Amino acid sequence: GIQVEQSPPDLILQEGANSTLRCNFSDSVNNLQWFHQNPWGQLINLFYIPSGTKQNGRLSATTVATERYSLLYISSSQTTDSGVYFCAVASSNTGKLIFGQGTTLQVKP
Amino acid sequence: GAVVSQHPSWVICKSGTSVKIECRSLDFQATTMFWYRQFPKKSLMLMATSNEGSKATYEQGVEKDKFLINHASLTLSTLTVTSAHPEDSSFYICSAGDTFSYEQYFGPGTRLTVT
């Protein structure tokens, strides 16, 4: 099945810094989503982005489907951005999402 | 965006008993829902695909007799953990997508503790 790799596994930032999270996948996809998991476990949808570029406030994402990777940019990070960021992909019409191992982000004040 | 709810949010049960977890799509219909399991500090692992009006499809290594899934309507799927044991303790999360895109929306999760 499709493999999903996220990097880095852990990231520590000072408040106000920018960061880039990466997601590599091993096959063509028809769905790619970025999530933020909050301390209570809820997965927050950040982006649905099987291709192209999207922006939402301080967050933006780019997926280059032909090269099988996606990037999540966080600008001017805040302490509330802390948590785990997951990339998940689906490569068939079943809709089944396969998750990467996540990036744990800690933003220090 | 679409809203998915789960009930209960947490449950503690004794070894040998069964526990039912509900997943509802509140503002859309979902012919397919998905059940995931997450261990502490780990990623989400897909357990099964819940299909409205038909049998669930389980991922390799997931015991279908242990984790019973019923998708009785277009807005409700249930996961029953039968004869629970401490190793079944975990965080269970469901997801659903509308029929117009592949985007999935996740419920808030259910934390199960088996004593």
Q: pLDDT value at position B99?
A: 67
Instruction: Look at residue B58 and tell me whether its pLDDT is greater than 90.
Output: yes
Q: What is the pLDDT of residues B97-107, one digit of tens each?
A: 866 678 899 99
Note whether B43 contacts A102, CB cutoff 8 Å.
yes
Structure tokens at B25: 């799509």
Note whether B32 contacts A90, CB cutoff 8 Å.
no
Task: For residues A31-58, give the mean pLDDT.
Answer: 95
Note whether A31 contacts B49, CB cutoff 8 Å.
no
Instruction: Look at residue A49 and tell me whether its pLDDT is greater than 90.
Output: yes
Token look-up 């982000």 returns A105
For B43, nearest residue in chain A (alpha carbons): A101
Q: What is the pLDDT of residues B25-49, one digit of tens each?
A: 998 888 899 999 999 989 999 999 9
Q: With the C-alpha atoms ordered B21, A102, A4, A49, is the resulting torsion angle positive or negative? A: positive
> Which of B102, B111, B112 to mutate against chain A (most A CBs within 10 Å)?
B102
Considering only CB atoms, B104 lies closest to which of A33, A40, A100, namely A33
Q: pLDDT value at position B2?
A: 86
The verdict on A2 touching B (C-beta cutoff 8 Å) is no
For A42, nearest residue in chain B (alpha carbons): B108
Q: pLDDT value at position B62?
A: 96
Instruction: Look at residue B83 and tell me whether its pLDDT is greater than 90.
Output: yes
Q: pLDDT value at position B34?
A: 95
Q: What is the pLDDT of residues A5-39, one digit of tens each?
A: 999 999 999 999 999 999 999 999 989 999 999 98
Structure tokens at A63: 């997926």
